Structure 1
Amino acid sequence: MRTKAKPSTAIARSDAQSIFVREVNLVEDIIGEMSFTEMFLLQLIGTRPTPAQVRILDTVLVTLMEHGITPSVIATRLIYHSAPDALQAAVAAGLLGVGTTFIGTMEGCAALLEEILAAPEGMEARARAIAERQHAARRPVHGFGHPHHKPDDPRSPKMLAVAEREGVPGRHIAALRMLSVQVDAVYGRHLTINATGATAALLGEIGIPQKVMRGVAVVSRSAGLVGHILEESRNPSGAYIWETVDESIPYAPDASTQDTKKA
């Protein structure tokens, strides 16, 4: 006997003549009428998006799509070199890099922003406490710092400006800026708001839940990786990357292994 309630879905339904997504007719009202970004938002939030929501999500998708020869791109190019008949495997390999160090850190930042916004003692006090907590634990503050863009990530101010121009409530952006002030004060140096920090604020402003924000990066980066695969097929670099790494990392006997053999 089943003990759990029968599950249901509110995303899509179909019959022999029609398909509905979130109760919007796919053929009559979506195909040729909605952009991919509009459809993506309809899928996520369950209602037709506003023009501001579309523009802001577009801003995020465009920003996160490309950043050169990153670890995810290297993984994709190497797997494509190994299995050029399986494009999807190469894309999947690159997407495995959307994590808590690269690309996917907007989730961690969004959690901090939600903590600041919910704090009964006020935004400034909680932002200060978060900065002190992360600094004392020697943990990164997700959404801050960048290995290449110094002193500031040039993408972030533009992203925030787009959202403010669209008239968003601004609570998540205010929390991000407050956290930035406190991070600089506690760490004793300027740490830029990076693109994933700005992404966390923008997606929060348009109602994208924190737990699926990394999925936005997955969608965006997928398109970028397909572009790299096309270039790889025309101008291969996978073998060169492999040979470069092989030549650059020397063999060095493990001292602990040698000690074990002597014993």
Structure 2
Amino acid sequence: MAEPADRASYPTALGASDPETITLLGHDLAEEIMGAVGFGELAFWLATQRRPAPSEIRVFEAVLAALADHGFTPTAIVTRLTYLSAPDSIQGALAAGLLGGGSRFLGVTEDTGKFLHEVLESLGGALPSDEAGWDAVALSTVRKRRAAREFVPGLGHHVHKAGDPRTPRLMRIAAEEGLFGPHLSLFAAIGRVHPAVLGRTLPLNGAGVCGAALADLGLPLPLLRAFALLARTAGLIGQLAEELRHPVARDVFLSVDLNNTSVPPDPFVPEPLGEGDGDG
């Protein structure tokens, strides 16, 4: 029977199947990808629809490792607590942790990559050729952020105040693979010059350097947080696996439930509208 002329068509270069085969990225999934392509390589390939070089895979997988787990962060705690509340919903526990990936945890990867890219775009293609040139751009950038009372994404860490060990390691890996590009160069320069503007030294954090490295790999900027969430998914699975063997979520819950203190209500009072602040 002939197909209707107006039949809808939904083209995709990703997964497609027929009764005999499954095709992924133009390759036979069973025969050419399974057992031959690592998960990190496949994730990169799916996002870019081009197969990464070994050097790119090394940097990309180093980023995934850096972001997989960082202890009892809010994302890990909420995953464990959700599992305590709903052990029948493993997907709910994982989703709860991933939904907490925002501007303070995990989202910094995206924020830093986009911030650095915006600065680079403002240069109009005239990128510095040496460290002194990068320092000049970084100094101007940090001064502008300070004048606007805005934070510099990727600068500072609540635990690693003397230096995040992930940052120099990822920079070395990128340099070894010839992938230390303009985003990492600018980020490193910010680390060198910011004390002269801020009057104190803050560490370049791991989430920020991951954003710079991902941007240098040419990955889509709107997906940078997604890669951080991909990495953290593995970490959250680890948190749940440990919760099964050595549960702590109930203790976390009880430490709050048994130690709360009743206080009088503190009603919210909206600020009065000034002249000209209404709708007109």
> TM-score, with normalisation over the residues of structure 1?
0.89
1:240 is aligned, of 251, 255, 259, to 251
Identify unmatched segments of 5+ residues in structure 2: 1-7, 128-133, 269-280
Pick from 151, 154, 164: which aligns with 2:175? 164
Residue in 1 that maps onto 2:20? 17
2:202 aligned partner: 191
Q: Are 1:42 and 1:48, in contact at CA under 8 Å, matched by a contact in 2?
A: yes
Contact kept? 2:106, 2:207, Cα under 8 Å: yes
Q: What letter corresponds to residue 10 of structure 1 in structure 2?
A: A
| 1:83 corresponds to 2:91 | no
Q: How much has 1:106 moved relative to structure 2?
A: 1.1
For the residues of structure 1 that align with 2:266 and 2:13, how far apart are their CA atoms?
59
- Residue 52 of structure 1: which of 28, 37, 55 is its match? 55
State how far apart, in whole Å, the 2-side matches of 1:248 and 1:110 are: 41
Do structure 1's residue 66 and structure 2's residue 69 form an aligned pair?
Answer: yes
Aligned residues: 253
Compute the RMSD of aligned alpha carbons.
2.1
Instruction: Give the AA of the match of 2:146.
Output: H
* Equivalence for 1:140: 151
- Alpha carbons of structure 1 residues 178 and 119: separation in structure 2 relative to 1, 3 Å: farther
| Identical columns (%) | 36
Amino acid at match of 2:87: P
CA shift for structure 1 position 169: 4.9
Q: Paired residue for 1:104, among 89, 104, 107? A: 107
Match of 1:214 among 225, 228, 251: 225
Contact 1:204–1:210 (Cα < 8 Å) also in 2: yes
- Give the match for residue 260 of structure 1: none
Q: Is the 8 A contact 1:119 1:126 kept in 2?
A: no
The whole-number CA distance in structure 1 between the counterparts of 2:141 and 2:260 is 39
Tell me how far apart the structure 2 counterparts of residues 77 and 62 of structure 1 sit (CA, whole Å).
21
Are 2:51 and 1:29 aligned? no
Q: Could you say which residue in structure 2 is the equivalent of 1:231?
A: 242
Partner Cα separation in structure 2 for residue 135 and residue 214 of structure 1: 25
Instruction: Give a deviation string over 1:157-208, Cα, whole Å, max 9, x none.
Output: 0011011111115222111112223433221111111001110121112111
Aligned-partner Cα distance in 1 for 2:24–2:204: 36
8 A contact 1:22–1:43 mirrored in 2? yes
Q: Which deviates more from structure 2 when the two are superposed, residues 116-125 or residues 85-94?
A: 116-125
> Which is richer in helix?
1
TM-score by length of 2: 0.84
